[in-house]
Amino acid sequence: MDKKKLHVALFFGGNSSEHDVSKRSAHNIYDAMDKDKYDVSVFMFTKGGYLLGNKDSMRIFNGEDEDKVVAEIVPKVDFSNPLANIQNISEVKNIDVFYPVIHGNMGEDGTIQGLFRLLDKPWIGSGIASSAVSFDKDLTKQLLTLNGVRNTKYLVVTPENQEEYSYEKCSAELGKTLFVKPARQGSSVGIFKVSNKAEFDRAVRDGFHYDFKLLIEESIEHPREVECSVLGNRESKASKLGAIRIPETDTFYDYNNKFVDASGVAFELPVDLPEKLAAEITQMSLDAFRVLGNRGLARMDFLVDQNDVPYFGEANTLPGFTNISLYPQLWQVSGINYSDLIDQLIQLAIAEFNDNAKLHYDFVELGEEKLSK
Ligand SMILES: Nc1ncnc2c1ncn2[C@@H]1O[C@H](COP(=O)(O)OP(=O)(O)O)[C@@H](O)[C@H]1O
Ligand SMILES: [Mg+2]
């Protein structure tokens, strides 16, 4: 390994429904990284949660069948060892920067960020608490509401209060048509649009397969779905805005038109919106990034109603990153190309790490003082 080069580790895969998207994102990032500047290692989490080493992850990168590689390795792993799932972590000792390219569970929710924190090296994207809060739609909305960022009205249903929060009660407060969604999911998995008691009850029952906390949200009818990419640390900037148009016959942007058959979905990059609306969405994106304590990158999603009122939808702290994904494409149309964007994210990770290193942690001294008493 060349000492002058930064050694970057890409993590990809994972056990969310976006495993394959993550694989494509990581592959695109790998290809775009300037190998004169970076040594790059790759580590894949299998769908079962096992961390493959660099060599085997590379085999998958180079086109070998994933199931075949995994079947070859995983049965040989000694799962009586509690660290079996992450034993290959010892391979990361010479890494300078960690780059999680894992969407959803474990990657976007603060879990892997905790591992990077323990390893005491810079990583791309938000910190532990910021990732966890941004991944939880209820906590996100609470923080945004406290800080004046408009979002849809909602109630939280749990197995404990389920009897009290009937369709009658929720619809009396939020309207006849409601969205039922797990607080900590993604990819539209477990989301239902309902407008009567039977649909509501079924959605709540199914929703509890994904999370014990469900959001019941007022519905924005025929919304425009608008996105904004944010880049930075404590100071950040927003890209031009983009919009997603789903076919008129579809009810909402669900798992099917997102991942199964996206042929009817159109993207407008950038989208031409009334000046006031665009300015408001841009400001809300920057406000949300600050309020949620995001770092590096986040794609902010909005729903705009028929009267051009924008509602904050969700923050995606590790958005899709293939070269046709919205996050990088919005920067592309805003003047930052794909590989420059990766360079900037790496620099932001290092800057954030150095910034935090300046903080004083007094507890060591306090601890010693207590011990000497
Ligand atoms: N309150 C709402 N009103 C109208 N449509 C909604 C609402 N909430 C969600 N949707 C639809 O469901 C999609 C997925 O919801 P979202 O909250 O973004 O969850 P996910 O994290 O799964 O993407 C949105 O893109 C939108 O099409
Ligand atoms: Mg979404």
pLDDT digits (tens, 9 = 90+) for 58-67: 999 888 999 9
Q: Would you say domain 153-218 falls under CATH 3.30.70.370?
A: no
- How far CA 152 is from CA of 64, 140, 287, in Å, comes to 45, 12, 16
Averaged pLDDT for residues 298-323:
96
Q: Would you say domain 224-336 falls under CATH 3.30.470.20?
A: yes
pLDDT grade for 373, boundaries at 50, 70 and 90:
very low
- Average per-residue pLDDT in the chain? 92
Residue 323 above 70 pLDDT? yes
**Residue 37 tokens, joined:** 């500047």
Averaged pLDDT for residues 315-343:
95
* CATH (one of 3.40.30.10, 3.40.50.20, 3.40.50.300, 3.40.50.2000) for 6-124: 3.40.50.20
**pLDDT recorded at residue 257:** 76
Q: What is the C-alpha to C-alpha distance for residues 66 and 48, in angstroms, rounded to an integer?
A: 12
Q: Flag whether 314 is marked binding.
A: yes
On the question of a common fold for 6-124 and 224-336, the answer reads no
215: β partners: 156, 181
Better-predicted residue by pLDDT, 369 or 273: 273
Averaged pLDDT for residues 97-112:
94
Residue 367 above 70 pLDDT? no
Query: Over the range 192-208, which residues count as b (16 or more CB within 10 Å of their CB) and which as e?
Result: bbbeeeebbeebbeebb
Name the residue ranges covered by the structural domains of the chain. 6-124, 153-218, 224-336
Residue 301 CB–ligand 1 contact under 6 Å? yes
Residue 162 above 60 pLDDT? yes
Which tens digit of pLDDT belongs to each residue from 27-74?
Answer: 999 999 999 999 999 999 999 989 999 999 999 988 899 999 999 998
Residue 108 CB–ligand 1 contact under 6 Å? no
**pLDDT recorded at residue 190:** 85
Which tens digit of pLDDT belongs to each residue from 255-294?
Answer: 777 777 778 888 999 999 999 999 999 999 999 999 999 9
Q: What is the C-alpha to C-alpha distance for residues 287 and 282, in angstroms, rounded to an integer?
A: 9
Ligand nearest to the CA of 303: 1
Residue 253 CB–ligand 1 contact under 6 Å? yes
- How far CA 369 is from CA of 359, 360, 365, in Å, comes to 20, 17, 6
Nearest CA to ligand 1 atom 15: 188
